[in-house]
Structures are given as structure tokens and as C-alpha cells.
Amino acid sequence: MSANLRIFWFLLIGLFSYMEGFSAVIRISPGQSIQKAVDGASAGDTLRIASGVYQQSGIVIRKPLVLIGENHPVLDGQMKGNILIIAAERVTIQGFKIINTGKSNMDDSAAIKFFDSKNCVVKDNILENAFFGLHFSNSSGMTISGNQIHSNALREFEVGNGIHLWKCKDSFITNNKVSGHRDGIYLEFVTNTEAVENLVQKNMRYGLHFMFSHDNSYIRNTFKNNGAGVAVMYTKNVLMKENRFEENWGSSAYGILLKDISDSEIVGNIFLKNTIGIYMEGSSRIEFTGNTFQQNGWALKLMASCDQNTFKANNFTQNTFDMSSNGSVVLNTITENYWDKYEGYDLNKDLIGDVPYRPINLYSVIVEKIPAAVMLWRSFMVTLLDRMEKILPTMTPDQMIDQSPKMKPYDFG
């Protein structure tokens, strides 16, 4: 029986390797040079690297190869330059623990660096103490999944980005955990890319940072406790869906900062305990629906340079201030949201309040001008002033109103 089974497996493996074009499996153990093995392998081969420590860096791969680490073999760059440099198609890097890259802005030292590559996979690696974690330029069809990227740098200038894509397209970034880097995920000139279910926290600057990156989507990611939250700029056609933006605290920390973003959708996200939930300027035609703003200092800072944005059916609860703005011109639509500060009534019982809600209160205007004034918030004097302003608006923009505030919060599950 067992002999039969062995022959069966033998045939099966033979068949598969035939189909793969006779790709070989090369085993590497500690002490051997990975670079030599790579040079000796032919396109399509699989390199299995046994667990252990490899103090090697600057490994260059220029052909389609599959590199698989067994039990996370350690590639230790000993603080010198890049560790893996790849410029090829169909390369897979899986299951490595890559540590200690060089720390230099001259060559942007990275744990794994891709140039001009196509259809590569970076999967289940652990990156520690790298300057840049994963660095991609001019590549397409990348799959980046299940990597854990962590840096122990103390200051922002001592470290690069966790996942860095420049001029890439058609890529998929999923299930990664990034912490302690400068920007968690950084995209510049990246198009048609999806980021799904990543956990990005405690990075020095931004959790997610992109510019000129059109047609991308960000779904079910968590951006938590990053130095300045998430900042995205100069981009159109973005979809942000069901992400969580949490605990971004500081004088210039945002759940999201939207600068010059247009024609986008921000749907079903949760903004929890940020100093500023969303700050937006110069942005147009963005649809905000089904978002939850909870316990933020300011749920929304909507600068007067924004136009044609729609805020519809969102929940605003337990925020210190629901909204603030820097001007009185209102070119945006705010409608059918639930505001927990709404004190109106609903006589016809259609669950929509009969009097409109003004999300900007007097004191948020004052605090916008004089930040120190926040110290007097909730004092009797300030409550009194706010009440008076509600009855006779003088300082708050009277066009900024929700004409049909909901009486009950939406249940987004």
C-alpha cells in the first residue's frame, strides 16, 4: 500500500514539475550564500531556505523565482543597505524574517525592494527594524499580504515607510500589520490598487498617506493611534469603505485629512476618538454616507474651499464639536444625518426632526479662532452663549444646516 502511494506521489509530483516546465527545488541552509543559489537557479525554480540566520544583504534577483522561508529564516542585513532587491516578473517572497536594514535616505534602504517588476507576491514575512519595509517602484500586479512590519525607531527622521509604493498599479495590499514606521502605507502615483483589512498603528507620521493615486480603494482597514492620522492629497476617484480611524490625538492629528480629493466615496467608516475626525480643504464631489463619528474633538472641519460634497445619513454622537468651518460660504449639502445634540421635535412622527439642525455652534467658531478657549467648554457661561446663538444666529454661518435631521441614530451594525 505504502509503496503504491509513494509511486502515486512520485508520478503526481513528476506530472506537476512537468507542467511547471521542469522547475527545480533548491534547498539552502545557513552558511550558504543565497545570492549564489539565486544566480545558479533557472527561471521558475523554487528556493527553499531552511530556518536559521543568514547574515546577507544586497541579494539581487532578476528572474522569476519562488523564495520560500521555512519557519521564518532570519535574513540579517547587519545595518547595511538593502536586503532583497528584485527586478523581475513572477517572484514570490514568502515566510522570511528580515531584520536590520541600513538606515539611509540616500538609497532608501529597504528590507525588500522591487524595481520594474510585475506580478510578484510578498507574503507572510516578518520585517523588523527596517528603514523602509517593503519598497516598490515602477511595478505592477503586486500582491502584498500577511506581512508584519515593525520598527523600533524613536524619531520620525530615523525611519522610512512601512509599505511604500511609487508609480505602481494594479496591486493588492491585504492583511498586513504595520507599526512604528514613518508612514504606515505610502502611495504616490499608484493607480488601480486595493488596500484591504490592513492594521496600521502607532506610526510616527501618517497611517495612510497617498498622493496622485487615482482609482484606488481602501476597505476594512484600521488606522489607529498614528502620529497624525491619515492624510491623502491630490487624488480623484477614491473609495474608502468600512475603515476604522481611531485615537489619532494631537494638535494636527486627523482621522482623515482630505486635501484636494475629488469624485470620491467615503462610506461606512468609523471615526472614533480622533482630535479631528475629518479635516477637508479644496475637496469636491465627495459622498460621505453611513459613517459613524463618535467621541471626536471635532467630527468635521469643513473648510470653505470645499464644494459639492454631500454628507448624508451619517451618525454624529458624543463629539465635543460636531463641525467647524473657516468661512460662511456653504457649497456643500448636509442632510438626513443623526446628531445626538439635536434638540428638536418630530410632531408628524416621520422620524425626521421638524426644525433644522445647525451643526456649527458658536463656541466651535470661537475655539477655531482661539484654541485656548476650549478650556471653558461646558461652563455655564459658554452654554448660555451657545443657547443665545441658537436662537439668534449672528456669528455662525446660517446656511450650514441639516434640514432633515434624523430623530434616531442609524443602525450600521
Partner 1 sequence: MLKLLKYALYDILKSRFAIIYTVFLALVAISIYQVSDDLSKVSLSLMNIMIMVVPLISAVFATTHFYNNLEFVELMLAQPVKRSQVFLSQLLAVILMLSLSILIGFGLPMLLWGADSSLITLLAVGMILSAVFTGFAFLASVMTRDKAKAIGISLALWIYFSLVYDGFVLYIIYSFADYPLEKATLGLVMLNPVDLGRILMLMQLDISALMGYTGAFFKQFFSSGIGMLVILMVLSIWLVVPIGLSGRIFKKKDF
> Least distance in Å: CB of 350 to partner 1?
20
Q: Decide whether 345 or 380 has the Cβ nearer to partner 1.
A: 380
Q: Decide whether 36 or 387 has the Cβ nearer to partner 1.
A: 387
Q: Is residue 274 near partner 1 by the rule CB under 8 A?
A: yes
Q: Decide whether 147 or 324 has the Cβ nearer to partner 1.
A: 324
E-strand stretches of 64-162 = 66-69, 74-76, 84-86, 92-94, 97-99, 110-115, 121-123, 126-128, 132-137, 143-145, 148-150
Q: Which helix (H) or strand (E) holds 236?
A: strand 229-236
Q: Is residue 276 near partner 1 by the rule CB under 8 A?
A: yes
Q: Which of 29, 42, 379, 399 binds partner 1 (CB under 8 A)?
A: 379
Distance of CA 43 to CAs 38, 66, 70, 408, Å?
10, 9, 21, 62
> Least distance in Å: CB of 279 to partner 1?
11
Of 53-61, 89-97, 292-300, 350-358, the window that binds partner 1 (rule: CB under 8 A) is 292-300
Q: Is residue 298 near partner 1 by the rule CB under 8 A?
A: yes
Q: Which of 383, 390, 398, 403 binds partner 1 (CB under 8 A)?
A: 383
Q: Is residue 370 near partner 1 by the rule CB under 8 A?
A: yes
Query: Using CA atoms, how far apart are residues 231 and 167, in angstroms rounded to an integer?
Result: 18
- Collapsing DSSP to helix, strand or coil, 248 comes out as coil
Angle at 248 between CA 243 and CA 251, to 5 degrees: 140
Q: Decide whether 164 or 406 has the Cβ nearer to partner 1.
A: 406
Q: Is residue 297 near partner 1 by the rule CB under 8 A?
A: yes
> Least distance in Å: CB of 374 to partner 1?
6
Query: Using CA atoms, how far apart are residues 26 and 10, in angstroms rounded to an integer?
Result: 18
Query: Using CA atoms, how far apart are residues 321 and 190, in angstroms rounded to an integer?
Result: 35
Query: Using CA atoms, how far apart are residues 20 and 226, in angstroms rounded to an integer?
Result: 45
Q: Which residues within the stretch 212-271 sit at the binding site for partner 1 (CB under 8 A)? A: 249-251, 253
Phi-psi region of 290 (alpha: psi -120 to 50; beta: other; left: phi over 0): left
Q: Decide whether 239 or 374 has the Cβ nearer to partner 1.
A: 374
Q: Is residue 291 near partner 1 by the rule CB under 8 A?
A: no
The cell numbers describing 63, all together, are 528572474
Q: Residue 341 contacts by C-beta under 8 Å, 6 or more apart in sequence?
A: 316, 322, 357
> Least distance in Å: CB of 33 to partner 1?
48
Q: Which of 3, 106, 372, 392 binds partner 1 (CB under 8 A)?
A: 372
Q: Is residue 295 near partner 1 by the rule CB under 8 A?
A: yes
Q: Decide whether 14 or 371 has the Cβ nearer to partner 1.
A: 371
> Is-contact 163 133, C-beta < 8 A?
yes
Q: Is residue 205 near partner 1 by the rule CB under 8 A?
A: no
Q: Decide whether 54 or 298 has the Cβ nearer to partner 1.
A: 298
Q: Which of 32, 143, 175, 320 binds partner 1 (CB under 8 A)?
A: 320
Q: Is residue 382 near partner 1 by the rule CB under 8 A?
A: yes
Q: Which helix (H) or strand (E) holds 384?
A: helix 380-391
Q: Which of 9, 371, 398, 399 binds partner 1 (CB under 8 A)?
A: 371
Q: Which of 19, 106, 154, 381 binds partner 1 (CB under 8 A)?
A: 381
Q: Residue 86 contacts by C-beta under 8 Å, 6 or more apart in sequence?
A: 60, 61, 62, 93, 112, 113, 114, 115, 117, 120
Q: Is residue 394 near partner 1 by the rule CB under 8 A?
A: no
Q: Which amino acid is at 345?
A: Y
Contact positions toward partner 1, by CB under 8 A? 249-251, 253, 273-276, 295-298, 317-318, 320-321, 340, 366, 369-383
